[in-house]
Amino acid sequence: MYQHRFHRHKTREVRVGDKVVGGDNPIWVQSMTTTDTHDVEATVAQILRLEEAGCELVRVTVPKPEDAAVLSEIKRRIHIPLICDIHFDYRMALAALDHPVDKIRINPGNIGGYERFRQVVRKCRDKGVAMRIGVNAGSLEKDLLDKYGYPCPPAMVESALRYIEIAEAEGFYDIVVSLKSSDVPTVVETYRLYAKQCNYPTHIGVTEAGKPPYAIVKSACGLAPLLLDGIGDTIRVSLLGDPVPEIDAAFDILQATGRRVRKPELIACPTCGRLEIDLESIVAELEKRLAGRKTPIRISVLGCVVNGPGEAREADIGIAAGRGKGMIFRRGQMVRAVSEAEMVDALLEEIDRWEQEQLSKPDQPSQSGLGAKSAENTQTGKKSAQSQKESSFSLPLVG
């Protein structure tokens, strides 16, 4: 069966708490709190909810001294890396770095000049704390706006490279870069341009995407092309309101692009006039009974005899059904015929058998092309045009 081979943009590795960003490491999912950071109880409670949803890095805003003052207490009570978001006042970054935080996010367009940026870089270097250089189309430096006329991709990339060069001059290399806009084509073009010139790892997202469900669609449109290009080492789906739904949305985008699969994927045909079983009930029951499973397996449930057999063969486990009965396929081979009433139990039995086989052969790729990772890490910073090559790798079986 055909297996996808992906190419990931080669980046250096940057440690953020207990996570390593870049290289061959998973594409980490992160979010940001909506609470007043100095309200420790509310902030910690929201972070714990994010953790439960699967969030792997979390960002809090630090606009005031009282926000910086509680960072040690917040860090003590959570279980994922803590990132501090700094705007306008570089002194808040310096204050935050007096606490056991894991990364500082700086927006270079509004931090107040190169010397203030250097002060933050030096303290990050001395403390061993990573930094995200977060370029945003809405706050680009005035000289770049004058030069380009508007916040276009070349302007945004030039901003990022400018501050990377300053950081490197200070002997600091623990850098992650983001280049965000609320305009999808700008996001895609900017990250692609950056990836041709630099290999510090990237945090990707469409900023100010708005209210779901449209915001999820908009984020997917911006993130999917990048992920399929192999660009992106951490991801956030920015949604209006409660941040917890951002986590499932991000993981769904990673799964749909084949970049990080951490649960079964259930494929079902649309409900057309050819349907000859109660497909909705079968799929609903399967979803219910598969909840919590981490097996990266592709399961198809097809309710007609036209396209069903062919498509069922393409899944790891599939069923093609019609007139109250169906045929189960496993790795493209017919396994057994079952009645409609037996379909859910029979599919779960096959899934259990698949899981046992995967446990005995942990590096065995599935038919859906999800295999063990194999790309080489790189520890270099900016790249020359001659060295801008990508490596081929297969995807990890688990998230």
Q: What is the pLDDT along the chain (399 residues), one digit of tens a residue?
A: 455 677 899 999 999 999 999 999 999 999 999 999 999 999 999 999 999 999 999 999 999 999 999 999 999 999 999 999 998 899 999 999 999 999 999 998 888 889 999 999 999 999 999 999 999 998 899 999 999 999 999 999 999 999 999 999 999 999 999 999 999 999 999 999 999 999 999 999 999 888 999 999 999 999 999 999 999 999 999 999 999 999 999 999 999 999 998 888 888 877 666 667 788 888 999 999 998 888 888 898 887 665 656 667 778 898 888 788 888 988 888 889 999 899 999 999 999 998 888 887 755 444 343 333 333 333 334 443 333 333 322 223 233
CATH 3.40.30.10 fits domain 265-360: no
CA distance 85 to 104: 6
Local structure of 312: helix, strand or coil:
helix
pLDDT of res. 306: 58
pLDDT of res. 284: 93
User: Which residues does 349 contact at the CB level (< 8 Å), separation at least 6?
Assistant: none
Task: Name the region of 162 (left: φ>0; alpha: ψ -120 to 50; beta: rest).
Answer: alpha
Task: Name the region of 240 (left: φ>0; alpha: ψ -120 to 50; beta: rest).
Answer: beta
Element (H, E) at 28: strand 28-32
pLDDT of res. 228: 96
Give the strand pairing for 234-235 and 6-8.
Answer: unpaired
Structure tokens belonging to residue 107: 């927006």
pLDDT of res. 288: 93
Name beta bridge partners: 133: 106, 177
Within 166-297, strands assigned E span: 175-180, 203-204, 234-235, 265-268
Task: Name the region of 369 (left: φ>0; alpha: ψ -120 to 50; beta: rest).
Answer: left
List own/partner pairs for 144-152 with CB under 8 A and 24 or more apart: 151/181, 151/186, 152/186
pLDDT of res. 369: 38
Q: What is the DSSP string of 93-145?
A: HHHHTTS--SEEEE-GGGS--HHHHHHHHHHHHHHT-EEEEEEEGGG--HHHH
List own/partner pairs for 2-5 with CB under 8 A and 24 or more apart: 2/369, 3/365, 3/367, 3/369, 3/371, 3/394, 4/258, 4/369, 5/369, 5/392, 5/394
Name beta bridge partners: 299: 266, 317
Local structure of 262: helix, strand or coil:
coil
- Give the count of alpha carbons within 13 A of 31, CB side only: 29
Cβ atoms of 92 and 70 within 8 Å: the answer is no
Centroid of chain to Cα 156: 22
pLDDT of res. 1: 45
pLDDT of res. 315: 83
Structure tokens belonging to residue 152: 């276009």
Domain boundaries, the chain: 6-256, 265-360
pLDDT of res. 11: 97
pLDDT of res. 122: 98
- Give the count of alpha carbons within 13 A of 272, CB side only: 12
CA distance 220 to 257: 10
Indicate the length of the chain as a whole number: 399
CATH number of 6-256: 3.20.20.20
